[in-house]
Structure 1
Amino acid sequence: MDHARPLPAYLISRYNGWKATTYTSNKAWYHRLAESGQHPRAMVISCCDSRVHVTSIFGADEGEFFIHRNIAGLVPIYSPDGGNHGTSAAVEYAVTALKVAHVVVMGHSNCGGVKGCLDMCAGDAPELEKQSSFVGRWMDILRPGYERVQGLPAEQKTRALEKQAVLVSLENLMTFPFVRTAVESEFLTLHGLWNDIGAGVLEQYDPAQKAFVAL
């Protein structure tokens, strides 16, 4: 591969600092993780957004969370059509191989992917409507959520659609036969969260209230 280049100096410096401090102080723990494999209790599906830092929010150590990130933290409908399905593969592995007890879908404020979906569905982002747009075709997953919020006042739509991204993903998770079986057998629970980045607020979806409620 002729196009690969060495890491930037600042990343190398940070790695060396981690190796000399955090790793050295916890070497036995890392050896145990390497030898015994991973046994996470939860899978977290969240956005690629660099501001979303799930392990920091929950103070999680290595080995606690099986984390999958994609644009807007979406889960597609179960569709075993022979294509490349990274998110579906991650869900399958977490539920059937790792046997996690929880799957958490976490959305967030000011999500660029959700804003793109909003613009695309409103006809204001023709570049995303092109068949060649990977982002646009991925955000098609959220079109059912857009249909639910399109009648809201403009100032409410973005945040409402961010939360719909979580709900649509939870609904789509239940289309996976192995997820439904695990949920109905009470070996797996699904959870929906939304994070206000600026305010440091975390809300969870409460099905009894049919609303997101602050923790």
Structure 2
Amino acid sequence: MKNARPLPSYLVQRYQGWKATTFAENHIWYRRLAEDGQRPRAMIVSCCDSRVHVTSIFGADSGEFFIHRNIANLIPPYKPDGDLHGTSAAVEYAVTALKVAHLIVIGHSQCGGVAGCHAMCSGKAPELEEKSSFVGRWMDLLRPGYEKVADMTDDAQAIRTLEHEAVKISLSNLMTFPFVREKVEADEMTLHGLWTDIGEGGLSQYIPEIDAFEPI
């Protein structure tokens, strides 16, 4: 592979600083994680957005969360067709191999993927309609959610609502996975839907009984 290059110097310096401080002070814990394997209590599916830092939100240490990130924190429905499914593979591993007790989907404000879906579905982003657009085809998962906001005249409110729909659709799709449904119905694992306001630090959770997100 001829195109790979050494890391930028600022990243090298940050690594060296981490190795000399945080790692050095906790080297026994890191060694134990390496030797004993991971036993995370929860899996978190979050957006790729660099502003969403789930370990900081919950003050988590290494080994606590099994984290999978993708555009707009979406989970596709169960579809064992032999194609490449990174998100589905992560869910399968977390549930069947790691046996996590909690599976958490967390959406966020100012989500570019959700905004892109809104633009695409409202005819303002034709480039995302192209078959060659990986983002567009991934955001097709959220089209059913757009139907609930299509009549809203306030785009900002519509996108905020669609961010919530992304979480709800992912939770619904999780229950199409047989191994997820089995664990949930046996009360061996719980599903949770969250949404965070990245500017205000707020966190809300989805309450199915009222079909709404309430602040924590």
Partner secondary structure for residue 143 of structure 2: helix
**Which deviations, in whole Å up to 9, do the C-alpha atoms of 1:7-48 show, x marking residues without a partner?**
000000000000000011001000100000000000000000
Partners of 1:184 and 1:202 lie apart in 2 by 27
Q: Is 1:106 the counterpart of 2:106 in the alignment?
A: yes
- Structure 1 CA distance, aligned partners of 2:198 and 2:108? 7
* Matched AA of 1:119: A
The Cα shift of 1:71 comes to 0.2
Offset at residue 63 of structure 1 (A): 0.2
1:76-115 maps to which residues of 2 (within 5 A)?
A: 76-115=76-115
Q: Deviations over 1:56-91 (max 9, x none)?
A: 000000000000000000000111111100000000
Look up the match of 1:208.
Answer: 209
Amino acid at match of 1:177: P
Aligned partner of 2:124 in structure 1 is: 124
Corresponding position of 1:29? 29
**SS of structure 2 residue aligned to 1:107:** strand
Residue aligning to 1:198: 199
Following superposition of structure 1 onto structure 2, how do residues 52-63 of structure 1 map, counting pairs within 5 Å?
52-63=52-63
Quote the residue 1:161 is aligned against: 162
> In structure 1, how many angstroms separate the alpha carbons of the residues matched to 2:126 and 2:150?
18
CA-to-partner distance for each residue in 1:89-136, whole Å, 9 max, x for gaps?
Answer: 000000000000000000000000000000000111100000000000
> TM-score, structure 1 length as denominator?
0.99
Aligned residue for 2:178? 177
* 2:141 match: 141
Deviation at 1:210, TM superposition (A): 1.3
Q: CA RMSD in A?
A: 0.6
Shift of 1:149: 1.7
* Higher mean C-alpha deviation, range 14-23 or range 152-161: 152-161
TM-score, with structure 2 as normaliser: 0.98
What is the identity, as a one-letter code, of the residue corresponding to 1:197? Answer: I
In the alignment of these two chains, the number of paired residues is 215
Within 2, Cα distance between the matches of 1:172 and 1:60? 27
**Within 2, Cα distance between the matches of 1:71 and 1:157?**
18
Percent of residue pairs identical: 69
**Rounded Cα–Cα distance in structure 1 between residues aligned with 2:189 and 2:120:** 35
Any stretches of 5+ residues in structure 1 without a counterpart? none
Q: How far has the Cα of 1:153 moved from its partner?
A: 3.1
Shift of 1:152: 2.4
Letter in 1 for 2:182: T
Q: Is the aligned partner of 1:41 residue 2:41?
A: yes
Residue type at the aligned position of 2:212: A
1:150: how far off? 1.3
Relative to structure 2, which stretch is displaced further, 202-211 or 9-18? 202-211
Aligned to 2:19: 19
Structure 2: runs of 5 or more not aligned = none
Runs of 4+ in 1 over 6 A off after TM superposition: none
Query: In the aligned structure 2, how far is the partner of 1:92 from the partner of 1:192?
Result: 18
